[in-house]
Structure 1
Amino acid sequence: MNTPFWGPDFDSLASTDPEIADVVLGELDRLRGGIQLIASENLASPAVLAALGSTLSNKYAEGYPGRRYYGGCEQVDVAEEIAIARAKELFGAEHANVQPHSGASANLAAYAAFCAPGDVVLAMDLKQGGHLTHGSRVNFSGRWFSPVGYGVRQDTELIDYDRVRDLALEHRPRMIIAGATAYPRLIDFAAFRAIADEVGAILMVDAAHFIGLVAGRVIPSPVPFADIVTFTTHKVLRGPRGGMIVCRAEHAKAVDKAVFPFSQGGPLMHSVAAKAVALKEAATPEYRDYAAQVVANAAALAMGLAAEGMRVVSGGTDTHLALLDVRPLNVTGAEAEGRCDAVTITLNKNAIPFDPAPPAVASGIRIGTPSVTTQGMAEAEMAEVARLIGRAVREPDDAGEITASVRRLTAANPAYGRD
């Protein structure tokens, strides 16, 4: 069963540890048997997975290429240098650091590079689409720094840039963060740059969710406007789980020191190599076509769910994700998630702006189209997916019939093909 994405030898895993081998096979069955609509997930390519399962996993390489604290780094130096060069070229950046283990690690490094404990940071409120690392009280960002949250207008559900400016003038933040995890619209990076310049703040863009669309040239890039851009590599970008940073050359030394030695030790060199593979894939015309289809699919799916009676937050989407208010169907976000899960459609409950329900219940769901687009689905399939979600939410007693329809759809568009 040595299919390409298993790595060097799946048979060895199966004979050594059949329990874990069963988990790996079970996850493949889950992916193939259901519809994956988690906005922050994707299906990494066989080439990316091969790099992740390679001998590069063995190497300690604290430091940076040419400046390591261990010997024997000749090959991993090449891998990291390739990844850095590809990141700089793909995003038009002056400097890149490819070592962060995750998006949260990249964000921690950004804080460390520019802020001191207690500094004011202005970022999108978690309740209105922000991220834990943008100032949540349960996270380092809210415990070590002084967060001020901005949000969206209640009438349009779009970022209130006038309010962002007012808050910046009032609180004089050391750093302003643009970016979100549940905001489906384009962000005006020029407006954020102007506000940051007016108050003398660093502008950080957390592009974790949409950087793959930037790579695919289907939405504007934050790189020309931001002092520093952090992102993950495993969402639309379709790489390994990990993080990355690009920044202006003047900040290179501070950023590199904030990653190592301040917040991390040895980089995960197999992941660095896999990031390089993903960056090469993202530089192709085929990837640009893919990114455009991701956006088209998200718009089609949002429109289809509106036809099923859900309210599309902000009236639509410009990106890979959409946020739906499910209260018109007399269910909570948690109930909608559970009913979809019962028919093997995977999505997540999500708070909507000004949500009266607690986060564990929520009034909305969040959907994303990176994975289904990787599987080859397009607008016609999105219309069918929307109908299946609508039925699952409204008619939970029909779960068996709906699951059969899901199976037919995924059989025609399987994850990782078939053996």
Structure 2
Amino acid sequence: MNMMVSRRALLGGFAAAGATALLPRNAFAWKAGGEQLYPGTYSFIKGFVDRRELVGTLAAIGKGQEAPVFFGAGVQSNDAPTPVGPDTLWRLYSMTKPVTGIAAMLLIEDGKMTLDQPIADFLPLFAKMNVQNTPDGSITDVRPAKGPITVRQLLTHTAGLGYNIIQKGPIKKAYDDAGIVGGQASRLPIPGFADVKPAPSLAAMADRLAALPLVYEPGTKWSYSIGLDLMGRVIEVVSGQAFDAFLKARLFDPLGMASTGFMVGAQDVSRFTSNYAPFGGALIPFDPAANSIYLDPPPYPFGGGGLVSSARDYDRFLAMLLGEGETGGVRVMQPETARLAMSNLISDSVDRKGSFIDGEGFGAGGRVSLPTSPGGEGIFGWAGAAGTIGFVHRGLGYRAAGYTQIMPPDAVSFQGKFGETFFKDVAGR
């Protein structure tokens, strides 16, 4: 049975206890210059393994277009002694969103769509949308939307769409019943959680989504949503290619990201991580690598949270962003397109109070820092539901990413404090 488990469900279902009982006692550090170059970050990520709060941690940091430095601690799974390394495979979850956002920007660069074009030009069922009169309230008490959903709004979570990991009440149930999901967590049954059957394809997901009301008026509020998954369907229609094939042809193959995709092949299980949740003083492997749901083809490629990748691969993606569309002598997009993608694409009128980006901006699938943001202007990136985080800082000329596998990610401070710790190291240099 394929069990779809949301971040919200995990937040409610697992106690964020100190995780110690099942951790291996022979975990050891892996590094290649990181201890000397980034001592604070090295101590930070290693500490989680030393304290037995996480099974394995890894950092990948690069300056400009220099080769990345990888350093880490611990192992891929608590039942195996394989240490983490640059080619270990991690569930990216929402770190998929900037990849999908950049893919959409390629089609804008190609002249096949524009930022402010209604998506109904490509998906006609979205031409006449309704909006809930009460967000998360009745799905029959609705009104016609005042304006169309645009490409920009899909990229920036301002389309008014919902998310089954965010919404509550009737609209969440409607999403679950229609199989409108943005990722998958385990094939194991988890007591107390509903078994949601995903839609069979991106096309079916999009059609079912169009039949449901929006939660907010398009263009008025930042609300984390299924928008980047719907963008995957837009990309299919506009490009004439399957979404995953488009990513492979336009991003993964040119950048040499051979370890990135929506499932893990049998030949790669030996370098795949297990995913954990803290419960009762232990880390429970609710998606063990050897029996992971990622070993099966997904029902559809989740553009908002479905990719698996290695630190080496994702660093190539970040290096391309830092190089404004080019890295290693390979250009995948023009500099002006890359700069636009990493700029703030939402207006000041968009309500973002109390959201994940309160006081900040948002670009093509990732948060954008503003002059008033912590860390200063020039940051673009996002994080994932299993504890990963990746970003570029164009002002400082760095790219950085941290990797672990734990849900919910705020059970420990790895994801929340990684960037702050990294910036202290950079300032110290």
Q: Report the TM-score range of the alignment, normalised by the length of the smaller protein.
A: under 0.3
Q: Specify which structure has the higher proportion of helix.
A: 1
Higher RCO (CA < 8 A, seq sep 6+): 2
State the TM-score, normalizing by the size of structure 1: 0.27
